[in-house]
Amino acid sequence: MNLEGLAAIVTGGASGLGGATAEMLGSRGVKVTVLDLQEEAGKQKAEAIGGLFVRTDVTSESSVRDALGTAERHHGVARLLVNCAGIAPAMKTVGREYATHPLDPFRKAVEINLIGTFNVLSQFAAALAQAEPLGEERGVIVNTASVAAYDGQVGQAAYAASKGGVVALTLPVARDLAQHLIRVVTIAPGIFWTPMLAGLPQAAQDSLGTQVPHPSRLGRPEEYADLVAAIIANPMLNGETIRLDGAIRMAPR
C-alpha cells in the first residue's frame, strides 16, 4: 500500500506512541487526524505534521462518530487506523488494611483501553468498508495492547485485563473484517518511554531499562512507529499480536 496521499486516524496521537506514529505517517505523506483529549498537545502535534486535531473521547459513540466525520470531510476516507489511546492505572486487588479494589478505576481502564479501542475501530471499519479497494485491500487497523496482557504485574489487574481484551479481540475482528479486505494487527509493547514514565527519576527509568534482555533500555516511541509502518507494508500480517519488548518477560513486581 503506497502511503502517499492516504488518510489516517491516530488515537492518543498527541504524545507517546501515538505521537511518534502520527509523526511517522505525516513524514510519509499521509494526511493524519489526531484524536486525543489533550487539546493543546494535540493541536501542536497536528500543526507540526500538517495534520488535523479533533478532541475526542474514545469511550463515547457520538464523540467518535463526530470525529471520524470531521476527519473524512477534511482528508477523505481514512485507510489507516492506529489505536494508541489508553491509561495505565495501578492498584492491588486487596489494598492496605484489606481495602477492596474499587470498581470505578477498573471499569475506567476497561472502558478506555478495551471498549474505546473497539468503539473507534468498529466505526472506522464501517466507513472504510464502503470505499473502493486499493489493490487487494481497503485498509489496515493497528491496535495497542501491552506485554501486561501476558505478564501482568502486581497492581495491574485492571490494566492487564483491559489489554488482554485487546489481544483477544484481534483475531475475531480480523476474521470479521476479512470480507471487507481490512486487516487487523495488534502490537504489545514492553517497557517504552512514554509521558507516563517521563515523570520518574532518571535512575528509575534506567533501572526499568536494565530489565530488558536486549537492548537493555527503554523502548523508543519511534520503534513502535517503525513496526506500524512494517505492518502496513506487509499484507500477510493479519489477525496477530506482535510483542515489541526486547525479549522481556515481566517479573511479578
E strand residue ranges, the chain: 7-11, 31-36, 52-55, 80-83, 139-144, 182-189, 241-244
Active-site amino acid positions: 159
Which cell numbers in the block locate residue 58?
474514545
pLDDT band at 93 (very low <50, low <70, confident <90, very high): very high
As a whole number, mean pLDDT of residues 59-66 equals 98
Please check the confidence at residue 199 and state whether its pLDDT lies above 80.
no
pLDDT of the residue at 175: 98
Look over the chain and give the mean of its residue pLDDT values, rounded to a whole number.
Answer: 95
In terms of pLDDT, which residue wins out, 173 or 193?
173
Please check the confidence at residue 99 and state whether its pLDDT lies above 90.
no
pLDDT of the residue at 201: 75
pLDDT of the residue at 202: 84
With a pLDDT cut of 90, the percent of the chain lying above it is 88
Helix, strand and coil in the chain, % to nearest 5: 45, 20, 35
Residue 9 and residue 167: Cα distance in Å, rounded? 20
Phi and psi at residue 243, in whole multiples of 5°? -75, 130
Q: Which amino acid is at 191?
A: I
pLDDT band at 70 (very low <50, low <70, confident <90, very high): very high
> If we measure between CA atoms, which residue out of 56, 52, 51, 73 comes closest to residue 12?
56
pLDDT of the residue at 195: 81
Q: Is 69 left (phi over 0), alpha (psi -120 to 50) or beta?
A: alpha
Which cell numbers in the block locate residue 217?
533500555
Please check the confidence at residue 119 and state whether its pLDDT lies above 80.
yes
Q: Catalogue all structural domains in the chain, each as residue range(s) with its CATH number.
A: 7-242 (3.40.50.720)
| Cβ–Cβ < 8 Å for 146, 114 | no
Which cell numbers in the block locate residue 89?
492505572
- Give the number of residues written for the chain: 253
CA terminus-to-terminus distance, the chain: 42
Which cell numbers in the block locate residue 183?
486487516
- Give 129-169 pLDDT, tens digit per residue: 999 999 999 999 999 999 999 999 999 999 999 999 999 99
- Give 22-57 pLDDT, tens digit per residue: 999 999 999 999 999 999 999 999 999 999 999 999
